[in-house]
Structure 1
């Protein structure tokens, strides 16, 4: 029997009160804020908001609790936008999600930052042993894809450097049960023949920096067959699949043709639609996927939203947390 684990890919919507307060404190609208070197008042606001979203997850009963990534004004690009050797360029559009962010332009060596580790330390203190901590990072390929390289001068060298940077960041993390590496660029801007093997290698390098279970979470579509085959070479515990927006036939083909890891993450709740699914519907989707890959029994099945919850109103995000937790607690998944 597969163990069902309710969790999310992180990046929660900022509570309305915090959005208003932080806009006043920083003197800009939320979309124009640059994280890093915050005043004591700004730090206090983020600390309070972090405790609130952790409380929401604990109240919902999630099996893995994330920090929430509320400071990540530029979403997946955040670990670079706060780095001392990165300049934030003009506003750009990431993927096709109608949200706009700054372009992180790497102008020097990607040395150790410790920014995400500091956030996770605070999250661990707020959780206080009530649940297992899940760390969240952009995968190295997606982070490199969202950035502009003005220092390394070579695509492969830059991707390699981003992988080294993230691995060093992970080594500083406090104890965590799971690490989600969000890799939508593997779908949205798939690596070519010159980088597809390297993309898998750098993911493997980041995963090797932690003793936690590592999930490479892909979304906004299905992986190309060749990209998936290379990703299977990475020594990770699970691959995440988007069963909401993705090409389900292609995803199931990949899994049945090449196999998958001993664990699996299923994006079954829509992270961008305010319609709230019922726990029974989500659980039926879990069972349906299991039936389609009946040749493989999974040790752990992560039940999650297909994308980050950042795009939703706070109340809808909270409702979806409860749905995920309840869906995972219903009758045991079919063998």
Structure 2
């Protein structure tokens, strides 16, 4: 029988109070932030915000709890932005969104930092630990967002990013699930040759953990060859953005099949319109009907993208909808 699991790709909006407090604190401590020292007050504000967003997920009834990635001012580029071998330079537009990040320029050999592991360790103190989900940028997306001044070759640079992320994952506490966010697989699809290397890089990162690994592309559907290569990686599930593109995602599933588990991005992570739980449940049935199968081992119900862009109150409502939709899907399947 299929298990329906409610979750998200993380990268949450800050609570309104934290947004105001941190803006003031960061303005006063700008020099310290450049040197990498967040300071006690900023650290305390993030700790309080982390506790709040984990509490919100728990109260909503989500099956997987994420740390929230509230410190990730550079969004997916964050794990590189805090590395000693990386210089952060000019402001770059984040894909086609009205959000920006500091360009991470790799100037020396990459080494794991333990930064994300420390966030997860803090999260384990606030959860049972058994339902904790880690979130990382996928290696191809991080490769795509970064600039290389050290390795000199795309293949070598992608391999170095994979080594770096695998090293980070090896420092993680025990987690139930790992979501690798790979919007660049859609937005900046790898060319021939690089698509196979991207799959190998994802495989390397996934192999560094015993957790269930979900690769979540978004803002569209994967090109056929990219999807076919991705299925060669030793991952548990591929995510599909059914908000941005239904037809091509269904085609990929029908033509090339799927992993034993699947992640369905059925709630809009960037639109303030809040879906009905019954509508999400119906969309799950529609996808399963298009494929003619109902025997996935696990179906993750999630927003199609991160919820960073949503007003805080709307983000909370989206979590509640996903949790209820998963419960409804379980009842319907039974």
Q: Report the TM-score when normalising by structure 1.
A: 0.96
Q: Does 1:279 align with 2:277?
A: yes
Following the alignment from structure 2 to structure 1, what is the Cα–Cα distance between the partners of residues 28 and 285? 46
1:173 and 2:160 correspond? no
Shift of residue 94, structure 1, vs aligned partner? 1.4
Q: How far does residue 17 in structure 1 lie from its aligned partner after superposition?
A: 1.0
After superposition, the Cα gap between the structure-2 partners of 1:45 and 1:59, relative to the gap in structure 1 and judged at 3 Å, is same
Contact 2:4-2:329 at 8 Å conserved across structures: no
**Deviation at 1:38?**
1.1
Query: Aligned to 1:127, what secondary structure does the other structure show?
Result: coil
Partner of 1:71: 71
1:35–1:72 contact (8 Å) kept in structure 2: no
2:19 corresponds to 1:19: yes
Q: Deviations over 1:274-321 (max 9, x none)?
A: 000010111111111011111462000000000000010000000000
Match of 2:137 in 1: 138
1:121-164 per-residue CA deviation (whole Å, 9 max, x = no partner) reads 000111144x6000000000000100011111111100000000
TM-score in terms of structure 2 length: 0.96
Q: Aligned in 2, Cα 1:148/1:183: closer, same or farther, shift over 3 Å?
A: same
Paired position in structure 2 for 1:289: 287
Bigger CA drift: 21-30 or 189-198?
Answer: 21-30
Per-residue deviation at 1:257? 1.1
Which residue is equivalent to 1:298? 296
**2:245 maps to 1:266:** no
Match of residue 96 from structure 1 = 96
Residue of structure 2 equivalent to 1:228? 227
Contact kept, 8 Å, 2:2 with 2:294, in 1: the verdict is no
Q: How many pairs are equivalent? A: 331
Runs of 4+ in 1 over 6 A off after TM superposition: none
1:154-210 CA distances to partner (integer Å, 9 max, x unpaired)? Answer: 111000000000001000100100000000000000000131110000100000000
Question: SS of 1:121's equivalent?
Answer: helix
**Structure 1 residues without counterparts, runs of 5 or longer:** none
Q: Give the Cα–Cα distance (whole angstroms) in 2 for the partners of residues 20 and 331 of structure 1.
A: 39
Mapping 1:190-269, distance limit 5 Å? 190-246=189-245, 248-269=246-267
Please name the residue that 1:322 is paired with. 320
What value does the CA root-mean-square deviation take over the aligned residues?
1.6
- 1:52-81 alpha-carbon deviations (Å, 9 max, x no partner): 000000000000000000000011000001
Structure 1 pair 251–35 and aligned structure 2 pair: CA distance change class (3 A): farther
CA distance in 2, matches of 1:171, 1:35: 26
5+ residue gaps, structure 2, are none
